Amino acid sequence: MTGPPPAQPLPQGRTPRWSKDAAKYLLDDEDAVIATRRHWAVLLEPTAKALPLLAAGGWLLVLDPQNRVSSSLGLLVLVSVLVYWGLRVGEWYMRHFIVSRRRVLLTSGVIVRTVTLLPLRRVTDLTWKETFLGQILGYGTFRFESAGQQHALSEITYLPDADALYKQVSRLLFSSDLVAPANTGDDEGNPELPPRRPPPGQPGPRDTEPFTRPPSPP
């Protein structure tokens, strides 16, 4: 089986936004093999919600310029909708899906940054799902399972080129470059200690003999 794909080289010129997160949250000897933000289709829902409110706010603003109540209400609606939509665009721009040879990271947040990670050695199953609209626009959903436990990275939606990403992540999961199998070590990823041996000259542990009931008196 071939090894994992090489780390993506940084393009010349302008540094991509994800490289800042990779440099900040990855270790010095850890490279980003996959790094992308979610598909732009994630903005379809907030845009669909914002457009009618923008139209209503604009209509109130120009309905009667001499009426301060309607004009102020229309301006308030416009500003609120623009702030709402701007936050959604900022969240889409700042959220990155990063995969190294050791773990999966999801960075998010505009004002408060949040980093969620999952070690690759703990992933027991990976599911890739594409809806009908996802097949048309080119995005899908990843679902990570880790020993039946729920975690923040259980489901990542709107991933672009999900078929190619699925193959790349699968190579990482089933590559021989992983340090240890997922079922070895403790919960923190540390290797299990070998069994303790007795000092020289002392007998080791022995199995106990079965208890024999004494014969009953006649």
Locate the domains of the chain by residue range: 22-38+97-173, 44-90
Distance CA 45, CA 67 (A): 33
The tens digit of pLDDT for each residue in 77-108 reads 999 999 999 999 999 999 999 998 888 999 98
Q: Find the mean pLDDT for residues 60-64.
A: 85
The tens digit of pLDDT for each residue in 18-57 reads 788 888 888 888 888 889 999 999 999 999 999 999 999 9
Which residue in 120, 122, 124, 133 sits closest to 162, CA to CA?
133
* Residue type at position 72: S
Q: How far apart are the first and last CA of the chain?
A: 74
State the pLDDT at residue 71.
Answer: 87
Neighbouring-strand partners of residue 107: 96, 115
Enter the tokens of residue 174.
């089933």
pLDDT at 135 over 70: yes
Cα 64 from chain centre: 49
Enter the tokens of residue 137.
């626009």
The tens digit of pLDDT for each residue in 109-134 reads 888 888 888 888 888 888 889 999 99
pLDDT at 2 over 80: no
Going by C-beta distance under 8 Å and a sequence separation of 6 or more, which residues neighbour residue 156? 38, 97, 106, 141, 142, 143, 144
Q: What is the DSSP letter of 191?
A: P
The tens digit of pLDDT for each residue in 158-187 reads 999 888 888 888 888 887 444 444 444 444
State the pLDDT at residue 28.
Answer: 83
pTM over 0.85: no
DSSP helix/strand/coil, 214: coil
